[in-house]
Amino acid sequence: MTLSVLSVISWNNTRAMSQAYNNPLMGIRFNIPENWNFTLWYGFEKAFCWGTDIGCTVTLNPNLEVRSLEDTAGINIIATRGPVFESNCNCSSLKEFVRWHYKNVQNYSSLFTFLNDSNKTLVGNKPSWSIEYEKNWLGQTQHTLDVLTVENQTYYQINYYADTESFYKFLPIVKQLINSLQFIPVRQITDAEIPPYVNDFSPKTPSFMQG
């Protein structure tokens, strides 16, 4: 039997981490865990974040000595807003957003098992909803905690996933990150303000082919 983390976790007791990250386009500020890899995705292309609709994702992973798709823990922080998303979601409240997200997870997850949910959590002092579940990923059981909230007409998903053993190992760090998250005014950003990002899946070019 899998223990539900929502029944034991405390969402206050924040301890600051060393690296601060700000993104006005996503409307968030949070602390990056020390020694974690950081990737900023701009959807399919950078411009996808700049139009009427945005769909930006920040991904963080612990620096593991042995990394594979099966055992790597990770956090996705997703900010989405705009008429296209609102038409798809048709959400007028946090609860409707949660229902929409839950149905999507159910429909697209193999061997989905619901564990628990709670509307007692806060993100940036705003009402939030947590959903905990398990699913099959590449033949392995993946334990997942999603925290959802709505602010500044933007729909936020914090998605933490790992195999069961790693899930509890990194959970205190994830809790600290969630507790550190704050909402900041949303605004467009200049080219000079675009945060650096690394796409680990981009094609690599041999050094002898450069220059």
pLDDT in tens, 30-66: 888 877 877 766 543 333 344 445 667 777 888 655 4
DSSP state of 49: G
Closest by CA to 11, choosing from 174, 182, 161, is 174
Cα–Cα distance between 49 and 93 in angstroms, integer? 23
Helix/strand/coil percent split, the chain, to 5: 25, 40, 35
pLDDT for res 151: 92
Residue by residue, DSSP assigns 64-92 as -SS--TTT--EEEEEEEESHHHHHHH--S
Cα–Cα distance between 160 and 41 in angstroms, integer? 16
> Going residue by residue through the chain (211 aa), what tens digit of pLDDT does each one get?
444 444 333 333 333 356 788 888 788 888 888 778 777 665 433 333 444 456 677 778 886 554 444 446 888 888 888 888 888 888 889 999 999 999 999 888 888 899 999 988 889 889 999 999 999 877 788 899 999 999 988 999 999 999 888 898 889 989 999 999 999 988 776 666 655 543 343 444 444 445 5
User: Contact, 2 vs 115, CB < 8 A?
Assistant: yes
CB neighbourhood size of 62 (10 A): 19
Q: Decide which of 3.30.750.24, 3.40.1000.10, 3.20.20.80, 3.30.70.360 is the CATH code for 20-200.
A: 3.40.1000.10
Helix (H) / strand (E) containing 156: strand 154-163
CA dihedral 59, 64, 69, 75 (to 10 degrees): -20
Q: What is the pTM of this model?
A: 0.76
pLDDT for res 190: 65
Q: Where are the domains of the chain?
A: 20-200
Beta bridge partners of 36: 62
